[in-house]
Structure 1
Amino acid sequence: MSKWPNDALKVSTKKPVLKPGQWQHVMVTYDGSSKPGGVKIYIDGVIEPVKTDTDGLQGSIRTATNLRVGQRSGNQVFDGGSLQDVRVYKRTLTVQEVQALHSTGPLRATLPPPRPNAPRPSRTPCTTTT
């Protein structure tokens, strides 16, 4: 996204895929094409059909805004869940690589599902620089 919503790209899954109370492996890849078809969403190693919500990207997705994980903006936060093992790659992963990451992660076997009323950790912004 360069400037929302006029110069941006947004896709989402066609159907609800997240299961409350269960750990799930979520992976999103993007091929740099500036097109909705370049975004793939995988849930537990399986590619999900997507719908295009916004298709107006005119250039690059590069922006001066820091990457936020679990928060879109100051008032739109991810709530009621947990994130673990967040990774950013310099290239688009293949289907086989996504499936391998999903199936080899030992966290799924060792971590209990999130408790619905568990105390929430403090919200500290996570930013990256390139």
Structure 2
Amino acid sequence: MLLVYMSLTGQTRKFIDKFDWPSLELTPDNAFTEIHEPYVIVAPTYEREVTDILFDFIETGNNASYLQGVAGGGNRNFNTLFCFTAKDIAEEFNVPLLHVFEFQGSDNDVNIMKEQVACLGQAGIK
């Protein structure tokens, strides 16, 4: 599964680096890239203006049709706002929220994420 993400502080990138999966880090230069394969968004938690790049990517071409789910990273100190970006994407695009993790995630977070993505495959990629 392709992991699509953005990383401002490097925490999300460190999480992605724990996988041996293909990935695409979004930047202003490639936010409007069109892809033709199933993917999962891994979203850090920031205000919408900061994460618009994720929404731009999803809304480019037919990318939304390939979106299988979303995971989010954040800081639990934000209480109810913990991982709100991932939750918003899941709701807006009607895809499952696969997992939320703190900072760069733990080995357990990686295992949970792998299990969740495997379940997507068993359910049939839409």
Q: TM-score range by the shorter chain?
A: 0.3 to 0.5
Q: TM-score, normalised by structure 1?
A: 0.33
Q: Flag the structure with more relative contact order, 1 or 2, with Cα contacts below 8 A and sequence separation at least 6.
A: 1
**Which structure is higher in helix share?**
2
Q: TM-score, normalised by structure 2?
A: 0.33
